[in-house]
A and B are shown apart, each in its own frame.
Chain A
Amino acid sequence: MKTEKVILKNETGLHARPASELTKLSAKFKCDIKIKAGEKEINPKSILSIMSAGLTANTELEIICDGEDEETAITELVQAFNNKFGE
């Protein structure tokens, strides 16, 4: 199991485009992925789960990957968050 902490930098939170980018990216990996934001636990493979969490800019998030490709998954996810999902 791998965990990593990131800060959500997108000014408008995880809106349509970044949320769909996150879903697409997460769906590529076989491992289980969870994102924790305080009390909330999000399944990033589900766009509804991401959107209904209503994450705003500057929230601290904990990414947890567990499974065979956890190493690549966590690296790519952290990178995507730091790149603001290309915004």
Chain B
Amino acid sequence: MLKGKGVSIGISFGKVVVLKNQKREIEKKNVDNPEQELEKFKQAFNAVINETEDIIKDLNGTELDIMQAYLMIMQDPSLISETENLIKNLNYNAEYAVEEGFNSVIQIFETMEDQYMAARSRDIADIKNRILAKLFNEETVNISKLHPDTIIVATELTTSDTAKLDFKNVSGIITEIGGTNSHTSIMARTHLIPAITKVEEATKILKNGDYIAIDGSLGEIYLNPTEEEKEKLLKLKEQILHEQEELEKYKGTETKTKDGYKVELVANIGTPSDVEIVQKNTAEGIGLLRSEFLYMDSENMPSEEEQFNSYKEVAEKMQGKQVIIRTLDIGGDKELKYLKLEKEANPFLGYRAIRLCLDNLNIFKTQLRALLKASNYGNIAIMFPMISSIEELRDAKKILEECKKELDNENIPYKKDIKVGIMIEIPSAALVAQGLAQECDFFSIGTNDLIQYTVAVERGNEKISKLYTKYHPAVIKLVKESIEGAHDAGIFCGMCGEAASDELYIPLLIGLGLDEFSMNANNILKSRKIISNLEKDECIELAKEVLRLTSAEDVEKVLKDFVERK
């Protein structure tokens, strides 16, 4: 049995498809029959064109535009003229001619100063790779069209891989690299696909066509499972299904404790297409729309129009329910191809999020204008990330006011009293929460970063991951300060980190008075169930007890005991 880290729960059975980068040895040879060699090249090339035409059929929007240009490059005779020349006139073998011929085109693009054009060299390199794969008779996997019950095994899935992936037919994902919060893990949970990461040498041990079973909670992989194992896993699978059915009861019901104390249960999403899952799970709104998708998936800075259309789409689909959109949160670990940022010694303490936006007003204003324009089509609220001081909030609001004035002058409608809030994810912000609350409309506590900055432990650093804990009394004190600061000023306080959907943490948060819980849509029903079994008073008592503790271990124990007693 292979083992890794389970990052998306569920049991599934299926056949392995391994995605890996093949290393090829390209020999330079002279051939006797160039006509035949040319034919060989043409066949491979045409097969690649046909595949691309196939993919295009199912695309729309920006993806379609990009792929159409990609197809046109392929249909351009000058793309292959050098390759043909190398075969016809110099009698080279097809493989070598493709390598050399395409490289000459790639070079032209690589040397261009324009970032976008330089990126086209990657498209051409991709075309070259696909032709070579055909010439070498390599089995290439078209991940946008898979057989039912496929379990994907890869070193790592890139963002573009997951964008193309045929999720309908994927029953599991196994990767060698990644973590709970990597893009692939989040996508897997969104699509309810069991996933396991950190499986060493998975792409070597598992082979195409292997029949395996995976347990996404425990991170276990069974190669050719025995009848006994199958039976055990099927039972588990049924149990999970049963639990999911149990949760169906909580669809569309109000979120309140046993004694009638109501809270808001809303969703975190990454793209407009996630709205479907939000609605399926009957979330009461969107507590965090990460606007990065617009920037990360794009080859250049997204225009006001593009952004407006996306925000409007979400606002309209949510039909008047609140949609909190966070302004651009890049820098640190998230980079953009077209925005060159200097490498920093401490990126998490560096030039990122609101700091970057306040320094690049073009980018910031484009987004704010798009948000304001979209606010006319639904209930949009704007949230600034990484606020560490009241000055930053004031500066950001000043820019927002400028944008409002511009729209007024252009006679473009927007919601005049659009709500503006901030992320509380830096200890300094939590400590001056009272002041900040006087000048904004809501808070959302981002626990993932708040923990990192409070205990000085980088989220992704495995060596010190034990020190990264939401149970640290200091973290809890900051959460308390934030909620109290908000309530003193009469505004609401939410939370959009992992902790908001944690079974142990929810009772504590209810006790501390948190108003809004924002989470991955798949956790909505479970959290609603947990909350409906709590009583406000007992949670307040629990919070009081926890606030007296001085060690994270004790906090965790007290919270565990509380849940077990229930």
A and B associate in one complex: yes
Whether the Cβ atoms of B73 and A54 lie closer than 8 Å is no
B76 within 8 A of A: yes
The answer to whether A12 and B300 touch across the interface, beta carbons within 8 angstroms, is yes
Nearest-Cβ distance from residue B42 to partner chain A, whole angstroms? 18
> A80 an interface residue at 8 Å Cβ cutoff?
no
Could you mark each residue 5-19 of chain A with 1 if its beta carbon is under 8 Å from any beta carbon of chain B, else 0?
000000011011101
Q: What is the 8 Å Cβ interface bit string for chain A, positions 43-76, against chain B (1 contact, 0 not)?
A: 0001111011010100000000000000000000
User: Do B66 and A49 touch across chains, with their CB atoms under 8 A apart?
Assistant: no
* Closest B residue to A45 using CB positions: B76
Q: Which of B69, B77, B105, B299 has the most CB of A within 10 A?
A: B69
Complex Cα–Cα for A83 and B165 (A): 36
**B69 and A17 form a contact (CB under 8 A):** yes
Which residues on the B side are within 8 Å of A54 (C-beta)? 112-114, 117
* Min C-beta distance of A6 to chain B, whole Å: 20
Interface size class of B (residues with CB under 8 A): 20 to 34
Q: How far in angstroms is the closest Cβ of chain A from B99? A: 18
Does residue B339 face the partner (Cβ distance < 8 Å to A)? no
Determine whether the beta carbon of A52 is less than 8 Å from that of B69: no
B77, B109, B120, B300 pick with most chain A CB within 10 angstroms: B120
B261 within 8 A of A: no
CB distance from A77 to the nearest CB of B (A): 17
Enumerate chain B residues within 8 angstroms of A15, measured Cβ to Cβ. Answer: 116, 299-300
On chain A, the number of residues with a Cβ less than 8 Å from chain B's Cβ atoms is 17
Q: Does B406 contact A (CB under 8 A)?
A: no
CA distance A13 to B112 in the complex (A): 13
Q: Which residues of B contact A51 (CB under 8 A)?
A: 73, 109, 117, 120
Q: Given A16-B65, A17-B69, A20-B68 in contact, is the A48-B76 Cβ separation under 8 Å?
A: yes
Among A13, A23, A52: residue with most chain B CB under 10 A: A52
**Contact status of A46 and B77, CB under 8 A, knowing A16-B299, A51-B120:** yes
Which of chain B's residues have a CB closer than 8 A to the CB of A16? 65-66, 68-69, 116, 299
User: When each residue 478-511 of chain B gets 1 if its CB lies under 8 Å from chain A and 0 otherwise, what string results?
Assistant: 0000000000000000000000000000000000
Question: Using a CB-CB cutoff of 8 Å, which residues 1-36 of chain A contact chain B?
Answer: 12-13, 15-17, 19-20, 23-24
- Please give me the residue from chain B that is nearest to A11 by CB atom: B303
The proximity string for B residues 85-118 relative to A, scoring 1 for CB distances below 8 Å and 0 otherwise, is 0000000000000000000010011001110110
Which residues of the partner chain A approach B73 to less than 8 Å between Cβ atoms? 47-48, 51
Would B69 and A19 count as touching, CB distance under 8 A?
A: yes
Interface string of B48-78 (1 = CB under 8 A from A): 0000000000000000011011001100111
Q: Is B79 an interface residue (CB 8 A)?
A: yes
Q: Which of A20, A46, A47, A49 has the most CB of B within 10 A?
A: A47
Task: Give the complex CA separation of A13 and B117 in angstroms.
Answer: 10
B52 to chain A, nearest CB (A): 14
Closest-CB distance, B327 to chain A (whole angstroms):
22
Contact of B72 among A12, A13, A23 (CB under 8 A): A23
* A-side contacts of B78, CB under 8 Å: 46, 48-49
> Looking at the complex, which one of B66, B76, B299, B300 makes contact with A47 (CB distance below 8 Å)?
B76
Contact of B76 among A12, A17, A46 (CB under 8 A): A46
With both chains docked as a complex, state the minimum distance between the C-beta of B303 and any C-beta of chain A, in angstroms: 8
Nearest chain A residue, comparing its CB with the CB of B108? A52
Contacts of A46 in B (CB 8 A): 76-78
Within the complex, which residue of B65, B77, B109 is in contact with A17, where a contact is CB–CB below 8 Å?
B65
Contacts of A47 in B (CB 8 A): 69, 72-73, 76
Contacts of B116 in A (CB 8 A): 12-13, 15-16
* A21 smallest CB distance to B (angstroms): 10
**Which of B69, B108, B113, B120 is within 8 Å of A20, CB to CB?**
B69
Distance (whole angstroms) from the CB of B517 to the closest CB of chain A: 41
- B300 contacts which chain A residues (CB < 8 A)? 12, 15
Q: A52–B72 contact, CB under 8 A?
A: no
Bound CA–CA A46/B81 (angstroms): 12
How many Å lie between the Cα of A54 and that of B111 in the bound state?
11
Contacts of B108 in A (CB 8 A): 52
Cβ–Cβ < 8 Å partners of B114 in chain A: 13, 54, 56
CA distance A34 to B299 in the complex (A): 28
Taking the closest CB of chain A, its distance from the CB of B124, in whole angstroms, is 9
**Which residues on A sit within 8 Å (CB–CB) of B65?**
16-17, 20
> Nearest chain A CB to B56's CB is how many angstroms away?
12
- In the bound complex, what is the Cα–Cα distance between A23 and B75 (angstroms)? 11
Measured in the bound complex, the distance between the Cα atoms of B69 and A16 in whole Å is 5
B117-145 to A contact mask, C-beta < 8 Å, 1/0: 10010000000000000000000000000
CB pairs A–B below 8 angstroms (21 shown)? A12-B116, A12-B300, A13-B116, A15-B116, A15-B299, A15-B300, A16-B299, A17-B69, A19-B69, A20-B68, A20-B72, A24-B72, A46-B77, A47-B69, A49-B76, A51-B109, A51-B117, A51-B120, A54-B112, A54-B117, A56-B114
Q: Give chain B's interface residues, CB within 8 Å of chain A.
A: 65-66, 68-69, 72-73, 76-79, 105, 108-109, 112-114, 116-117, 120, 299-300
Tell me the A residues contacting B by CB distance below 8 Å: 12-13, 15-17, 19-20, 23-24, 46-49, 51-52, 54, 56
Can you add 8 more A-B contacts, CB < 8 Å, to A15-B300, A23-B72? A13-B114, A15-B116, A15-B299, A16-B69, A20-B72, A48-B78, A52-B109, A54-B112
Closest 8 pairs between A and B when the two form their complex, measured CB to CB: A16-B69, A47-B72, A20-B69, A48-B76, A17-B65, A52-B108, A48-B78, A20-B72
